[in-house]
């Protein structure tokens, strides 16, 4: 919709608890304009526009029990809450509305519905001041009715009508035989809102297909026939009151089992003055275009045609500028551009009388062109923090995706860089690079100037970049600075003077007096300052005739190392000049006419400054100082008095820091070069400092051309590089290794540093059968004869690429495909893949060193013919592999052992193998032909999903009963459960923090920390034999001792992995977690009580000043299942910088701090992690 401005084409998306506003820019890149944590689960979204309005509002259905209306404030770039009306209890309940939303196309009313019983309609209008008003809810409830979907019917300006797919279950509840359930019918009901009488009536109802589940609004009035489309298994049906059904069968893929129905999962519609069409997407990712043949209100035919194949989506949005945004169910989201709208007659499938299947083969994209991709990791199934690259910071390895989008993603701290061009430099050492435009109004740069110790190279940017000699620049000197002066002239500063080059190539020069040399310089479009050896500062200004005029010379009494003047930013003169000295000081001087070169402020530095830059961040002016010992200091510069305050320091590397101003869209950023290159910029009212994932640079400058509108040109010692920088706010960049199936787990082989992954998928052909299917498809087609015969590896890669683009064929239910893969992260190559046969699925893995062999083995647990409901299998297997050194990475199968259950977890334990088989914990040893069972315990509640060990203690994660502490007594070869949790939790991941403490996440989104009480630990230490565990009486058939909860925190997404790690050298050790929606977060321990008190009070104040926009109370949300305990919400504290200045001042006053001190505290806690 048009949320921030009348012609702004934007998209609002919900990522669980996060609301975001996305906007495609002029180059087709999707930019995140607003991202807000709603501290509530967003269940539904719908835009609406009041009649005569020019912008859209957003109605949000959430778990708050309230209907919330939001609008976008374009000035503050934030969502604003307009209305908040309570109608029910909090939480995702089946009888509380919020699951479904529909808005009248004319913006007069909104219906919000629950899964069962309740439907509420709100009337929307304006008051006398043209502000939005919302009425009390009008109920349209019906007892014992389940709602499957709702939609608004386009009836023009008649009374608003809403359609709902419903099923009455009253008879089914009272029938114990189940016959009523089989005979229950679905109905399509129209609810009409009478605006005159202000009540809702059931206008019309009719029986529809039992498999109907989704409604699509058909344009009405002058734009179409009105009514709705509903989708059911295999069919799309048009229906309206007083109109018969018009149905069409959905075309099907070939080689899909005929007994399986075809379902539509996502819908998008597009309406213009002279046409409309609807895009439907099937569960296989195929897009269909639906049009109607109609006259007036009479529909004669529904036309459906295959359009293209894209990733399976949960949401589609057609943008009026010719784009299609696809929010994928898994992995990356895409922005496509329409190349055409698929009007070819050969692609249309219509049904004329007979009800028969129509088939097609999916093909590569023809109607859509992918323009941009938004990276996503959803879902993350496993994660580890490793430093296999041996770089400064470790990497986060995430197994993510599902099916054809599966991948192993490597996250590195830093901004992703798009490398565009590289060329070599002469043998001389470069000393700087600059780019200049011909005039101030030009869009692209004209020259690239590269300085060396023995000269200057001038390159002209045209169709190609080539050296020129008639530009007016001196080529025989060492250039110190080049800039645009005035509207159309250049300024070249070199060690012997200044050279002013006019547009007509006339030049004028200023020479240094007495043979002195320039040691530092600074300039903007109208002001120039140079520092001479001996401490003299000479200040110039551009007069009205375009000539440089020397204003004054002043001796500052000390040698100067660097200086800077801020850009004009619409002013006639910049107010300040910052100068650093060799005696570790920096001073700010005034450049105003009344007190020119008067010192305004001074600050001591930890070492000599090598570079200065004055840049505006978040509407405030900052002086940035790069020092010789690798520090970057950022101090706030008062725009009136010139005083320096709120100095912040960050270590960037061991080399001296060089600072360069960058243009990032409409904002200004700072590029700091040291051992690594760092970019500092403002993103959503927050200053972000993040490294570039690129080679170290010596010098840099902005670069703009037709091929690269927003680029950077950088120099290394031997080459000139042009690249573009992503400044979307991401702290990590990612590279991906495509996988064949959904990754389940992965391990690092300790001796070879190879990654070993297990992958498995349901409803997927094993690889050998998949290749046979492809051969059958080729035999049916015309592409069997070919001159080129690729090798097997090339064929596999091509087939995998085809499956990722179009999706693989699907077998019948119960078919599994699985493999174990060995991958070299340094060479980025797959070394070996072992495919499992006999319908096996790999679900667990570990590396293990057995007593009898010093070799590291890879142990994989598989299950044959697995079913989920109820959980069962034919049998399980334990595979033992070794990895050979010649050829490297080759998997050698030692043996396979059949077991009588599902091996849910494996772990190495004291030279043996620990295995959780169903609800049994076993210890195996390595035998010659199979693994040998040595010990077992059958006392675990449901199903073992995780195993961890320290010493002789075992930490067992049970599927539904939280964590259990187990001790292995070697004397009697017994396993004893001695401690468990008081509250059962459905575990997904466990991380051992220390010998007595574990952290775990559950599938409902809560992270908990449990600890063994000190008195229990002392009792166990005093009884090393272990008989106290064996003979201590248990409580209610559970363990004799109980674990004590230390912390609870509700994240809002299912936790998939927890790990203890250190993300930066010298940083604090944190608890990293990943979620099923692809989020990566950390829990940071506090180091002192002062920080705990400060952030506790900050959290309380922020939640009072800025309540969640969806109406959910913050503390209630974070205590969704268990009361929040011993955790301070950093996401809430981070919202401090987004508050209005008045709110920040009030919070800072209550904390007895200044606003800058609060921001500094927040930045310090962030820097502990990254």
pLDDT in the model for residue 350 = 43
The b-or-e profile of 391-411 (16+ CB within 10 A means b, else e) is: eebbbbbbbbbbbbbbbbbbb
**Helix boundaries (H) for 474-597:** none
Reduced to 3 states, what is the DSSP secondary structure of residue 450? strand
Does an H or E element contain 182, and which? helix 179-183
Nearest to 532 by CA among 509, 508, 513, 551: 513
Residue with tokens 């002062």: 1090
Alpha-carbon distance 463 to 451, whole Å?
23
Alpha-carbon distance 1168 to 1066, whole Å?
8
Alpha-carbon distance 986 to 958, whole Å?
8
Alpha-carbon distance 510 to 503, whole Å?
18
Residue with tokens 């690269």: 708
pLDDT in tens, 464-489: 888 888 888 998 999 999 999 988 89
Supply φ then ψ for residue 1126, to 5 degrees. 60, 25
Report the DSSP beta bridge partners of residue 704. none
CA angle 486–488–494, rounded 5-degree value: 70
User: How far lies 153's CA from each of 287, 591, 648, 743, in Å?
Assistant: 24, 66, 58, 44
Nearest to 727 by CA among 676, 692, 677: 692
Alpha-carbon distance 585 to 606, whole Å?
9
Q: Judge whether 109 and 82 are in contact, CB under 8 Å.
A: no
Residues 6+ apart with CB under 8 A from 638: 621, 644, 645
Residues 6+ apart with CB under 8 A from 994: none
Q: Is the dihedral of CA 1147, 1153, 1158, 1159 positive or negative?
A: positive
pLDDT in the model for residue 353 = 37
- By residue count, the chain amounts to 1170
Reduced to 3 states, what is the DSSP secondary structure of residue 192? strand
Instruction: Give the count of beta carbons closer than 10 Å to the beta carbon of residue 305.
Output: 22
User: How far lies 727's CA from each of 566, 663, 684, 750, in Å?
Assistant: 22, 11, 11, 37
E-strand ranges in 344-496 read 348-349, 359-360, 368-374, 380-386, 395-400, 407-413, 417-424, 430-436, 447-452, 455-461, 465-467, 479-485, 489-494
User: Given 3-state DSSP classes, what are the helix, strand and coil percentages for the chain, each rounded to the nearest 5?
Assistant: 10, 50, 40
Residues 6+ apart with CB under 8 A from 781: 361
**Helix boundaries (H) for 736-835:** 767-780, 792-806
Q: Judge whether 12 and 1 are in contact, CB under 8 Å.
A: yes
Query: Which two tokens mark 580?
Result: 């650093």
Q: Kindly tell me the number of DSSP H helices and DSSP E strands found in the chain.
A: 11, 87
Nearest to 580 by CA among 564, 594, 606, 560: 560
Query: Which two tokens mark 223?
Result: 């734009």
Q: Judge whether 247 and 355 are in contact, CB under 8 Å.
A: no
Instruction: Give the count of beta carbons closer than 10 Å to the beta carbon of residue 813.
Output: 11
DSSP one-letter string for 219-244: P-TTSS---EEEEETTEEEEEETTEE
Residues 6+ apart with CB under 8 A from 143: 117, 170
pLDDT in the model for residue 153 = 96
Alpha-carbon distance 353 to 1042, whole Å?
70
Alpha-carbon distance 343 to 323, whole Å?
17
Residue with tokens 């960050």: 650
Q: Judge whether 636 and 621 are in contact, CB under 8 Å.
A: yes
CA angle 589–594–597, rounded 5-degree value: 25
Alpha-carbon distance 626 to 611, whole Å?
5
pLDDT in the model for residue 800 = 86
Q: Judge whether 232 and 214 are in contact, CB under 8 Å.
A: no
pLDDT in tens, 554-569: 999 899 999 999 998 8
Report residue 416 CA to chain centroid gap. Answer: 14
Nearest to 572 by CA among 621, 617, 623, 527: 527
Alpha-carbon distance 835 to 841, whole Å?
10
Alpha-carbon distance 983 to 998, whole Å?
15
Query: Which two tokens mark 554?
Result: 């002043």
pLDDT in the model for residue 788 = 52
Alpha-carbon distance 484 to 491, whole Å?
6
Q: In terms of pTM, does the model score above 0.75?
A: yes
Query: Which two tokens mark 553?
Result: 């010379």
Q: Which residues of the chain have pLDDT under 70?
A: 344-356, 727-728, 780-790, 1024-1037
Reduced to 3 states, what is the DSSP secondary structure of residue 1142? helix
Does an H or E element contain 186, and which? strand 186-194
């Amino acid at each position: 919709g048009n949320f921030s401005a009348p012609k702004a084409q934007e998209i609002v998306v919900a990522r669980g608890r996060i609301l975001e506003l996305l906007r495609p820019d002029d180059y087709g890149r999707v930019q995140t304009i607003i991202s807000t944590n709603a501290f509530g689960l967003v269940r539904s979204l719908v835009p609406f526009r009041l009649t005569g309005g020019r912008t859209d509002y957003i109605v949000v259905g959430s778990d708050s029990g309230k209907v919330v209306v939001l609008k976008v404030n374009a000035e503050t770039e934030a969502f604003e809450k307009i209305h908040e009306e309570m109608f029910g209890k909090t939480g995702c309940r089946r009888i509380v509305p919020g699951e479904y939303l529909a808005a009248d196309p004319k913006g007069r009313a909104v219906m919000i519905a629950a899964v069962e019983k309740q439907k509420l309609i709100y009337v929307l209008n304006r008051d006398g001041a043209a502000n939005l008003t919302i009425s009390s809810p009008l109920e349209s409830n019906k007892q014992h009715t389940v709602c499957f979907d709702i939609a608004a019917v386009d009836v023009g300006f008649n009374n608003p009508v809403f359609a709902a797919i419903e099923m009455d279950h009253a008879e089914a509840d009272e029938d114990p035989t189940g016959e009523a359930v089989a005979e229950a019918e679905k109905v399509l009901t129209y609810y009409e809102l009478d605006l005159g009488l202000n009540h809702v009536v059931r206008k019309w109802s009719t029986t529809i297909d039992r498999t109907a589940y989704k409604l699509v609004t058909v344009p009405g009035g002058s734009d179409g026939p009105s009514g709705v489309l509903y989708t059911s298994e295999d069919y799309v049906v048009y229906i309206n009151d007083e109109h018969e059904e018009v149905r069409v069968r959905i075309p099907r893929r070939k080689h899909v089992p005929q007994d399986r129905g075809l379902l539509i999962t996502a819908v998008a519609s597009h309406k213009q003055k002279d046409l409309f069409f609807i895009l439907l997407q099937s569960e296989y990712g195929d897009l269909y275009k639906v049009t109607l043949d109609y006259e007036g209100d009479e529909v004669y035919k529904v036309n459906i045609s295959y359009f293209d194949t894209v990733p399976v989506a949960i949401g589609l949005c057609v943008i009026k500028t010719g784009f299609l945004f696809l929010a994928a169910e898994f992995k990356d989201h895409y922005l496509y551009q329409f190349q055409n709208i698929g009007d070819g007659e050969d692609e249309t499938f219509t049904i004329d009388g007979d009800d028969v299947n129509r088939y097609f083969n999916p093909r590569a994209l023809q109607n859509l062109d992918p323009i941009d991709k938004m990276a996503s990791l959803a879902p993350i199934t496993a994660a580890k923090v490793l430093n296999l690259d041996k770089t400064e910071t470790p990497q986060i390895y995430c197994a993510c995706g599902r099916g054809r989008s599966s991948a192993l993603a490597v996250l590195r701290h830093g901004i992703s860089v798009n490398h565009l061009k590289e060329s070599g430099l002469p043998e001389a050492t470069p000393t700087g690079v600059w780019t200049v435009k011909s005039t101030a109004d030009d869009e692209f740069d004209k020259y690239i100037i590269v300085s060396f110790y023995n000269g200057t190279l001038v390159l002209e940017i045209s169709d190609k970049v080539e050296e020129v000699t008639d530009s007016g620049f001196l080529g025989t000197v060492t250039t110190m600075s080049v800039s645009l002066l005035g509207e159309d002239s250049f300024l070249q500063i070199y060690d012997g003077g200044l050279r002013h080059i006019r547009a007509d190539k006339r030049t004028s020069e200023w020479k240094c007096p007495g043979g002195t040399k320039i040691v530092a310089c600074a300039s903007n479009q109208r002001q120039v300052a140079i520092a001479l050896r001996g401490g003299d500062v000479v200040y110039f200004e551009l007069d009205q005739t375009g000539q440089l005029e020397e204003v004054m010379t002043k001796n500052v009494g000390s040698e100067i190392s660097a200086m800077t003047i801020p850009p004009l930013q619409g002013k006639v003169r910049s107010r300040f000049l910052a100068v650093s000295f060799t005696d570790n000081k920096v001073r700010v001087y005034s450049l105003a006419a009344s007190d020119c070169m008067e010192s305004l402020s001074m600050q001591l530095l930890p070492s000599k400054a090598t570079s200065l830059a004055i840049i505006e961040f978040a509407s405030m002016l900052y002086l940035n100082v790069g020092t010789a010992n690798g520090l970057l200091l950022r101090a706030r510069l008062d725009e009136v008095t010139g005083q320096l305050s709120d100095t912040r320091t960050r270590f960037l590397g061991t080399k001296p820091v060089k600072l360069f101003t960058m243009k990032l869209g409409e904002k200004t950023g700072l590029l700091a070069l040291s051992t690594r290159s760092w970019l500092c910029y403002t993103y959503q009212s927050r200053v972000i400092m993040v490294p570039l994932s690129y080679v170290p640079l010596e010098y840099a400058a902005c670069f703009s051309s037709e091929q690269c509108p927003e680029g950077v040109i950088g120099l290394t010692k031997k080459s000139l590089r042009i690249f573009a920088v992503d400044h979307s706010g991401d702290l990590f960049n990612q590279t991906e290794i495509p996988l064949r199936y959904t990754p389940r787990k992965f391990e690092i082989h300790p001796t070879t540093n190879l990654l070993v992954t297990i992958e498995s998928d349901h409803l997927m052909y094993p690889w050998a059968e998949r290749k046979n299917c492809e051969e059958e498809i080729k035999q049916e087609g015309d592409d069997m004869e070919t001159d080129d015969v690729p090798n097997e590896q090339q064929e596999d890669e091509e087939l995998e690429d085809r499956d990722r683009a179009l999706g693989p064929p699907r077998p019948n239910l119960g078919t599994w495909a699985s493999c174990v893969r060995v991958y070299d992260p340094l060479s980025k190559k797959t070394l070996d893949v072992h495919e499992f046969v006999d319908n096996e699925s790999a679900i667990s893995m570990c590396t293990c060193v057995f007593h009898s062999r010093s070799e590291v083995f890879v142990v994989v647990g598989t299950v044959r013919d697995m079913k989920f409901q109820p959980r069962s299998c034919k049998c399980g297997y334990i595979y033992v592999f070794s990895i050979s050194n010649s050829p490297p990475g080759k998997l050698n199968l030692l043996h396979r052992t059949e077991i009588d259950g599902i091996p849910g977890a494996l772990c190495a334990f004291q030279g043996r193998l620990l295995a959780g088989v169903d609800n049994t914990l076993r210890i195996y040893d390595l035998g010659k032909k199979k693994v040998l069972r040595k010990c077992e315990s059958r006392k675990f509640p449901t199903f073992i999903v995780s195993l961890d060990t320290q010493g002789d203690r075992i930490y067992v994660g049970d599927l539904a009963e939280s964590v259990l502490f187990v001790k292995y007594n070697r004397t009697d070869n017994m396993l004893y459960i001695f401690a468990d949790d008081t509250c059962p939790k459905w575990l997904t991941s466990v991380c051992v923090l220390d010998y007595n403490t574990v952290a775990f996440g559950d599938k409902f989104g809560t992270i908990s920390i449990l600890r063994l009480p000190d008195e229990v630990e002392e009792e166990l230490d005093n009884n090393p034999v272990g008989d106290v565990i064996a003979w201590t009486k248990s409580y209610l058939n559970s363990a004799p001792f109980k674990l004590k909860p230390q912390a609870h925190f509700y994240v809002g997404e299912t936790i998939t992995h927890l790990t203890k790690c250190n993300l930066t050298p010298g940083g604090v050790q944190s608890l990293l977690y990943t979620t099923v929606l692809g989020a990566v977060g950390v829990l940071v321990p506090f180091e002192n009580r002062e920080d705990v008190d400060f952030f506790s009070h900050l959290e309380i104040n922020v939640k009072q000043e800025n309540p969640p926009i969806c109406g959910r109370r913050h503390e209630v949300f974070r205590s969704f299942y268990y009361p929040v305990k011993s955790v301070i919400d950093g996401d809430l504290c981070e919202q401090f910088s987004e508050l209005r200045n008045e709110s920040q001042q009030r919070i800072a006053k209550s904390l007895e701090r200044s606003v800058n001190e609060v921001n500094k505290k927040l930045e310090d806690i962030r820097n502990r992690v990254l």
